[in-house]
A and B are shown apart, each in its own frame.
Chain A
């Protein structure tokens, strides 16, 4: 993995004026990485990797919500994802990291981390909403519970609807719709291209 440098943050596709808070945090993170890197290879910044850090990763690794599909990004609040990451079934991030400077291809665990981060990125582009009492989708077929009015739901491209937590946990394991087996990523990638 390329170590994030101050220059790299400058290349991010947003201006300081638009997202001053993010820019400041990016600097902070960069400083922290630099500092810890100087302390020697055993120091491990990935161990303290937070959701905020993940958001700040250069977009070559992670598809950021601000990069595309602006219509959807407003639907997802930050706290929603904080909660999601806490309940994620996978070990995220793995605690065993020793060196942040290994190349992706030489470190299967790190590759796994990047893969998961990408998956999280893809999942968060799927639109969410609150249940409006629609009669077509009465229950979440994962937990077999009926939706209650106003409850948070997520829509897949095939228009099957699930509880946000139920479908997020499933999509981290398999990227297909549990009801119709439609691969979720294929549809997502098509919509990216057309955007």
Chain B
């Protein structure tokens, strides 16, 4: 995929999202001249521990998009089993395509060129509601989620409060 094709595709998605916003998040560019770097604001999904929070995250697209996935990183502090302590999101749909080296993911669970900003964010929002503790990126959070849920809840609530203060 040439650079012009990937930027064309991302521009198309950006204008589409501006025209028809999707519930649960808003999306834009970090810098208007740089189509490969997006900033999104995720609204903590209702009926989850993250409800009421506003979580900022960055998406970095490779020039080979959509053949290769973007990287996603939360800028707002967030406590979640599948988001590491630096904010990097670890979900299978953002893993490079190809033969599975470790044999625990089906090709269908990994990156596909039909994914868009919208489908990625829908997956991330569903991950917030429903953590996958089989492959945790934040081992401490995963352990707490399983073994000490009250403490897990407390830490998430602190992140939600902090995100609200940052957003004002």
Contact = CB atoms under 8 A, between A and B. Distances in A.
Interface of A: 87, 89, 141-144, 166, 169-170, 173-174, 176, 178-179, 181, 183
Interface stretch (B29-37, B84-92, B106-114, B147-155): B106-114
A89 B67 contact: yes
Given A166-B1, A173-B98, A174-B110, 12 more contacts: A87-B2, A141-B113, A143-B5, A143-B8, A144-B12, A144-B116, A170-B67, A170-B113, A174-B97, A174-B98, A178-B113, A178-B114
Contacts, number: 45
Given A142-B114, A143-B9, A176 B107 contact: yes
B67 A169 contact: yes
A173 B9 contact: no
B1 A174 contact: no
A179 B119 CA distance: 13
A175 B31 CA distance: 36
B139 to A, nearest CB: 29
B108 A142 contact: no
A121 B168 CA distance: 58
Best-surrounded residue of A87, A142, A166 (most CB of chain B within 10 A):
A142
20 contacts: A89-B67, A141-B113, A141-B114, A142-B66, A142-B113, A143-B5, A143-B8, A144-B13, A144-B116, A169-B1, A169-B67, A170-B97, A170-B113, A173-B67, A173-B97, A174-B107, A176-B108, A178-B114, A179-B114, A183-B107
